[in-house]
Amino acid sequence: MQTITLRLRLHRPTQAKIRRYRELVEHTTAFANNLVAAGRPKGLTSRTARAYLAGNLPSAVINQALRDVAAHRDVKTFRVLWPSFNNQNLRLKKVGDFWTASFPMQTGRVRVPLAVTRKQAALLERLGRDVRQGAAKLYEKRGRWFLALSVTLPVEEKTAGTESGKIAGIDMGLRYLAVVNAGGETLFFPGDQAASVRRRYHALRRRNTRKRDFGRSLHSWSFYRLQQFIAYKARLAGIRVEWVNPKDTSRTCPRCGHCAKENRNGIRFRCRKCGYRGHADAVGAWNISLAISGLAEAA
């Protein structure tokens, strides 16, 4: 089973509804900060918690806000706490060819049309069968309003085999966001994000030891996020993910297996034993794919 988040856009909400959404967000955030200021009192219910309200909120939003505040004990002030609804309070319904969502607001439930993609619609059609609906969060981004809906669905994991050629090695670095070796072909993904990480990393390295430690943490954290995103998308497609120790992958010849520091000079790779030449990051991705396929030792 795999849990994913569907970003469902609210279709052209009126200005009156937008004002109500923003008021709901403001009251939810103020309520959360009042709870924090009061020392996060325990044992509150949707009824007793109303003493901390700055405005009217539906019980469903109050209950979820109580859980959110309790879960984020390190937060001293919530800049914004988007209102959330559990699967019992958010109702999705197909009307003709369109999908709508119904959720509680300050003065009762509202039903709004959704602008969904084909893939999203296909998953919504499976709700109640093999797809399970989770909680949803109402939020605004760049002037548009969305429901971030959590759904859990079955994923059939495909088995990779050397005969099928369905093995890809991915090497991540600062010069290139990712270099992929798949079936003998190499793909380079430079990306602005890699350059941004590199600039921040080198700027922090010039500072004192403590700041350098922080720089290394930032560097590791950025690529950890990328790794998790790749793994998330792969599992969603039913692709099995294996983690390979990257040590010496860009210093080892994928042709003869000779490993030496001298094999690599910047982005250039030249094997001192057999003479094979290539891009060092591409060599790294190739060796990772060999390690996954089990051919690395035989090379």
Sequence spans of domains, the chain: 2-153, 168-293
Write down the pTM of the prediction: 0.65
Angle between helices 59-71 and 15-37 (to 10 degrees): 50
DSSP 165-207: T--EEEE--SSSSEEEEETTEEEEE--HHHHHHHHHHHHHHTS
Does the pLDDT at position 82 exceed 60? yes
pLDDT digits 0-9 by tens, 38-67: 999 988 988 899 899 978 899 999 999 999
Q: Could you tell me the pLDDT band of residue 194, with boundaries at 50, 70 and 90?
A: low
DSSP at 112: E
| Residue of higher predicted confidence among 212 and 13 | 13
Residues 182-194 as b or e (16 or more Cβ within 10 Å = b)? eeeebeeeeeeeb
CA pair distance 190, 173, nearest whole angstrom: 9
CA pair distance 254, 290, nearest whole angstrom: 8
Q: What is the pLDDT of residue 142?
A: 92
Tell me the average pLDDT across 256-284: 94
DSSP at 156: P
| Residue of higher predicted confidence among 205 and 47 | 47
CB count in 10 Å sphere of residue 259: 15
Q: What is the pLDDT of residue 193?
A: 56
Cβ within 8 Å of residue 253, ≥6 positions away: 259, 263, 269, 271, 273, 274, 276, 283
Helices and strands in the chain: count of H runs, count of E runs: 6, 13
Closest CA to 271 of 287, 253, 257: 253
Cβ-in-10-Å burial (0-12, 13-18, 19+) of 254 comes to buried
| Residue 145, phi then psi, degrees to nearest 5 | -110, 140
* Count of positions (residues) in the chain: 299
Does the pLDDT at position 104 exceed 80? yes
Closest CA to 112 of 121, 102, 122: 102
